[in-house]
A = this chain, B = another copy of it.
Amino acid sequence: MRQRSHPIVVVLGGPDLPPSIQAIKERAVVRIASPDRLQDELPGSEVLFAWRARPGVLDPAWAKADALRWIHTAAAGAGALLTPEVIASDVLVTSSRGLFDEPIAEYVLGLILAFAKDLPGRVRLQERRTWQHRETERVAGRSALVAGTGSIGRAIGRKLRAAGMVVTGVGRVGLVGDPDLGEIVPMDRWLDALRFADYVVLAAPLTGDTRGMLDNRALSAMKPTARVINIGRGGLIVLDELVRALRGGVIAGAALDVFADEQPDDGSPLWTMPHVLISPHMSGQVVGWRDELVALFVDNLSRYVEGRELRNPVEKKPPTG
Using a CB–CB cutoff of 8 Å, the interface residues on chain A facing chain B are 102-103, 106-107, 109-111, 113-114, 116-117, 119-120, 122-124, 126-127, 129, 131-140, 159, 162-163, 263, 266, 271-272, 276-282, 285-289
- CB pair B122–A117 under 8 Å, yes or no, is no
- CB pair B110–A114 under 8 Å, yes or no, is yes
Contacts A110-B117, A119-B114, A120-B123; A138 near B277 (Cβ below 8 A): no
List, in ascending order, chain B residues with CB within 8 A of A135's CB.
Answer: 282, 285-289
A105 to B, closest residue via Cβ: B140
The answer for the CA separation of A159 and B266 in the assembled complex, in Å, is: 39
Q: What's the minimum C-beta distance from A91 to chain B, rounded to whole angstroms?
A: 30
Q: Which of A122, A124, A159, A286 has the most chain B CB atoms inside 10 A of its CB? A: A122
Tell me which of B126, B162, B276, B287 contacts A278 (CB under 8 A). B126
- CB pair B106–A138 under 8 Å, yes or no, is yes
List, in ascending order, chain B residues with CB within 8 A of A271's CB.
Answer: 126-127, 129
Tell me which of B119, B131, B140 contacts A102 (CB under 8 A). B140
Q: What's the minimum C-beta distance from A68 to chain B, rounded to whole angstroms?
A: 30
Q: What's the minimum C-beta distance from A253 to chain B, rounded to whole angstroms?
A: 13
List, in ascending order, chain B residues with CB within 8 A of A263's CB.
Answer: 131
A-B contact pairs, 17 of them (CB 8 A): A103-B138, A106-B113, A106-B117, A107-B117, A107-B136, A110-B114, A114-B119, A119-B120, A119-B277, A129-B266, A133-B285, A134-B282, A135-B285, A135-B287, A136-B282, A137-B286, A137-B287
- CB pair A138–B286 under 8 Å, yes or no, is yes
Tell me which of B110, B134, B272, B285 contacts A116 (CB under 8 A). B110
